[in-house]
Amino acid sequence: LFEDAGTGTPLSGMAEAFEELCVLIKSGGGGRGDGYDLRLKPFCDACSLVSVLFGCLGIAFKFAEMEYVSKVRDLAEASKRHGSLNTILDIDVKNDTVRTPGSLSRNLRRVRQGLDLIRALFQNFLSSDDYSLKEAASTAYAQVCAPYHTWAVRTAVSAGMCALPTREQLLLKLNETDESAEKEMRRYINASLPIIQYIDKLYISRNISLDW
Ligand code: 1PZ
């Protein structure tokens, strides 16, 4: 079933994990009548795999890694008490804590932005061989995350961008060739989009805006 299990690269592991989530949410069922009720545990397991990328970015993105990892960890911790993504939204809506710093619904929104950032980054990376990793990442960050980050964070990120490796160094660290990276990045792009849309729908269906 999973032919590259065990021998896969970090990118193929990420792609595979999100493809498996896609199969789940597209299966439709789950008992709530409004689509599949995605459990927190498999979602967090997939999100954790993304952290392997941080290892390729160097010390400048240590703070981004700590931010992302701690939010995924909070969600994974909550998976023991609350079953699904729907549940945490319901609880925060009831307590009026959807946007409260540190709340699970806010952490979910931030993790979703991290997934989208990587999707946009891969898309930019593949759009042209002449695009440096720094350009691809800066553009993706400006599109996906910068509008929601403070000035201090945006400044730190733009400084960190200068320390990113080159395209060739990144591929080497990821144990990919140009061709294999293209294949795995496309798999992630295609599989992450339905998950991102699924998460957005959780908020929109509860009349929560996405401008934060
Ligand atoms: C090869 C890949 C290169 C990609 C480089 C892109 C790096 C972007 C770094 C973003 C840093 C964000 C740092 C901190 C942000 C916090 O202000 C917010 C708000 O937190 P809150 O106020 O809600 O508690 N936190 C976040 O948005 C959490 C997620 C941000 C990190 C996502 C990174 C995704 C993975 C990048 C690739 C490894």
| HEC-encoded secondary structure of 39-67 | EHHHHHHHHHHHHHHHHHCCHHHHHHHHH
If one counts the domains in the chain, the total is 1
Task: Find the CATH number of the domain harbouring 133.
Answer: 1.10.3520.10
- Quick check: is 4 in a domain? no
CB of 122 shorter than 6 A to ligand 1: no
Per-residue pLDDT at 1: 45
Domain that holds residue 25: 10-204
- pLDDT tens digits for 125-157? 999 988 999 999 999 999 999 999 999 999 999
- Quick check: is 116 in a domain? yes
- Quick check: is 136 in a domain? yes
Please give the distance, rounded to the nearest whole angstrom, from the Cα atom of residue 108 to the centre of ligand 1.
13
DSSP-based three-state secondary structure for 176: coil
Nearest CA to ligand 1 atom 6: 137
| CA atoms of 143 and 126, how far apart (whole Å) | 16
Give the position, in ligand 1's atom list, of the atom nearest the Cα of 71: 28
Amino acid occupying residue 70: S
- Quick check: is 97 in a domain? yes
- Quick check: is 158 in a domain? yes
Please give the distance, rounded to the nearest whole angstrom, from the Cα atom of residue 33 to the centre of ligand 1.
34
Q: With contact defined as beta carbons under 8 Å apart, do 73 and 110 qualify?
A: no
Mark the ranges of the chain whose per-residue pLDDT is less than 70: 1-7, 29-34
DSSP-assigned beta bridge partners for residue 39: 84
- Quick check: is 190 in a domain? yes
Please give the distance, rounded to the nearest whole angstrom, from the Cα atom of residue 205 to the centre of ligand 1.
26
Per-residue pLDDT at 31: 56
CB of 67 shorter than 6 A to ligand 1: yes
- Quick check: is 210 in a domain? no
CB of 57 shorter than 6 A to ligand 1: yes
- Exposure of 26 by Cβ count < 10 A (0-12 exposed, 13-18 middle, 19+ buried)? exposed
Nearest Cα to Cα of residue 137 among 150, 156, 119, 153: 119
| CA atoms of 15 and 17, how far apart (whole Å) | 6
- Quick check: is 114 in a domain? yes
